[in-house]
């Protein structure tokens, strides 16, 4: 990649981000996200655009090149925007549904360990599930019962964008495994997953809520039925 002998990918990316800093945004973003990792203060849509341009400009055309670049940026990140950029680089069509990205995505879930990064992986895991159900399906079932709460959250939200292609058996397993968890981020994800699938099959969601209402938290029920109204 041109220029990277003298400067690291992180340095080159940061140089492109710096002119787009918005005064006061870094402190506000860090306070809102409640992270120890600092922000530069660049709006997320701008970070994504810059990341896409950066990947092209540095010659990361193939999936292998993008994986190497994203892994380097994620590993060496000093600010939150670097992680967002790494995720955007993985969003290219050439990268979707490729199993070699799994180790990086798992790092994003376990090292990112916060809702913005974990949720940012949901579409990638959904693409992998569609491409490799025999691998990702069992993995998500294992994750739904994992001690790591962020893995459990991912197991519930990995199908947010699959619509009619949702594996409802897997969704049912992941949600049911987390019914008794009291952690906010699990209860919210449980309701969110149901609410999203309700756009595709509202009857399935209503039936699921009816069957599990006694064990669901008010938050999960409220989220699940947010656009469906009260169950008859």
Distance CA 54, CA 34 (A): 28
The answer to whether 152 and 173 have CB atoms below 8 angstroms apart is: no
Crossing angle of helices 9-17 and 44-57, in 10° steps, is 130
- Quickly tell me which residue has 């993008």 as its tokens: 66
The token pair at 5 is 């002998």
Question: In order of start, what are the domains of the chain with their CATH numbers?
Answer: 1-95 (1.25.10.90), 114-232 (1.25.10.90)
**13: region left, alpha or beta (phi > 0 left; psi from -120 to 50 alpha):** alpha
In the prediction, which pLDDT does 165 show? 98
pLDDT (average), residues 146-175: 98
Among 61, 83, 87, which residue's Cα sits nearest to residue 74? Answer: 83
Among 160, 170, 154, which residue's Cα sits nearest to residue 223? Answer: 160
Residue pLDDT, tens place only, 75-116: 999 999 999 999 999 999 999 999 999 999 999 999 999 999
Distance CA 121, CA 158 (A): 8
pLDDT band at 70 (very low <50, low <70, confident <90, very high): very high
Length of the chain: 232
pTM of the model: 0.93
Residue pLDDT, tens place only, 42-66: 999 999 999 999 999 999 999 999 9
């Amino acid at each position: 990649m041109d220029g990277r002998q003298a400067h690291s990918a992180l340095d080159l990316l940061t140089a492109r981000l710096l002119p787009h800093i918005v005064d006061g945004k870094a402190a506000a973003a860090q306070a809102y996200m409640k992270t120890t990792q600092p922000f530069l203060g660049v709006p997320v849509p701008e970070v994504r655009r810059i990341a896409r341009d950066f990947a092209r400009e540095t010659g990361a055309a193939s999936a292998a090149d993008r994986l190497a670049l994203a892994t380097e940026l994620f590993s060496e990140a000093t600010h939150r925007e670097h992680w967002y950029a790494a995720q955007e680089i993985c969003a290219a069509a050439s990268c979707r549904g490729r199993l070699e990205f799994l180790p990086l995505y798992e790092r994003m879930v376990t090292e990112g360990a916060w809702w913005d990064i974990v949720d940012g992986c949901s579409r990638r895991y959904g693409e992998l599930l569609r491409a490799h159900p025999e691998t990702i399906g069992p993995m998500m079932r294992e994750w739904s019962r994992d001690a790591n709460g962020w893995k459990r959250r991912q197991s519930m939200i990995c199908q947010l964008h699959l619509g009619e292609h949702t594996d409802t058996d897997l969704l049912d397993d992941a949600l049911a495994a987390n019914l008794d968890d009291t952690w906010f981020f699990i209860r919210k994800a449980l309701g969110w997953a149901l609410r999203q699938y309700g756009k595709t099959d509202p009857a399935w969601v209503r039936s699921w809520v009816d069957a599990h209402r006694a064990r669901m938290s008010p938050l999960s029920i409220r989220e699940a039925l947010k656009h469906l109204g009260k169950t008859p």
